[in-house]
Amino acid sequence: MSPHRHFHRLAWAAVLLAVCVIVFGAFVRLSDAGLSCPDWPTCYGQATWPRHEAQIAAANERFERPVEVHKAWREQFHRHIAALLGLMVLGLAALAARRRRFGLATVFGASALVAIAIPLYMAERYVTSSVLVAVAQAWLLVFAFRSTQPDFSRLATVTLAVIIVQAMLGMWTVTWLLKPAVVMAHLLGGLTTFSLLVWLAWRSTPEARIARPDSARLRPMLVVGLVLLGIQIALGGWTSANYAALACGTDFPTCLGQWWPQTDFREGFVLWRGIGVDYEGGVLDGPARVAIQMSHRIMALLVFGHLLFLALRLRRTPGLGRWGWALGIALGTQVALGIGNVVHGLPLWMATAHNAGAVVLLFILVSLLARLRPA
């Protein structure tokens, strides 16, 4: 039973906002605006960003990084809409948990600890801030998995815990100077939040179930497709974070005029290189970036083959034909955008659309998994 008659509407609103946060975040990252606000959660010490000459002059005197207004507004606006999404998830968690014992106390108590941790972090009391966040996360997770009641409180509470981690990853993205492992994790965290919200929205929507006797055969194919897509998204995030999207130049299907140029996989997939290195622009040499790009291309073939087979299977399944068409069209568009990014030298609009295409594919797979049930 839904915890509130408008719960599913709020969940779908959160899904739409999550799409905006993810796509606009990709736009920020691809337009090299990820470090345009050198502090967090403020931007040059302001809740918005420096706009007037006096504000810009004061910011330039206080911070080492010069103000670029046309980039700073993008980064700070992205933070604001992400914070709004966090408040919406908090509302969902409160609605879902309010009928459980200590439900509201857990949701609002843990959120209060996180809220207190933010000014402590800004005051450079990092250990105390981290302890408060860790206690809040443990509180939420214990509450979420303590009960086996068939309600929405577990899923909504876990989603709140995930979005708190996502906020921390956003903070580390700035303070650790675009560290590739953090940037990739931030992307995966955003898409995990989106997937949880889609699942929550479908499960709470009345009459959303698709009951089929062959669901037991379709679900494993969907799970495999979701896993493969997740790996490909992670590789795409790693490619972007290491500035390897054009490691092969504008050659496709070859790379630098060869089918298999010189590569350095060991150097290309070092996840941790320490803290303090500025990764803006990338630090890897050519062969390491080529290895990353070639891995992304090879994985794309595997994902394409499986999802194409799945789309054809859905197309032949009565009642699921439209989902098959949607998956096939989204898959073809995503492949075209990926090739176009290479051939045309990574246009900003096309690279951003490529990220949006991954969101669409994820939505289709998660939606089918959430809705398909045995007859």
Active site residue ranges: 75
- 306 near 228, Cβ under 8 Å? yes
DSSP 284-300: --HHHHHHHHHHHHHHH
Q: Which of 359, 346, 358 is nearest to 31 (CA)?
A: 346
Indicate the residue type of 194.
Answer: F
Contact 164, 114 (CB under 8 A): yes
Strands (E), 255-315: none
Contacts of 51 (CB under 8 A, 6+ apart): 69
Answer whether the bond into residue 253 is a cis peptide, omega within 30°: yes
**Residue 227: helix, strand or coil by DSSP?**
helix
89, amino acid identity: V
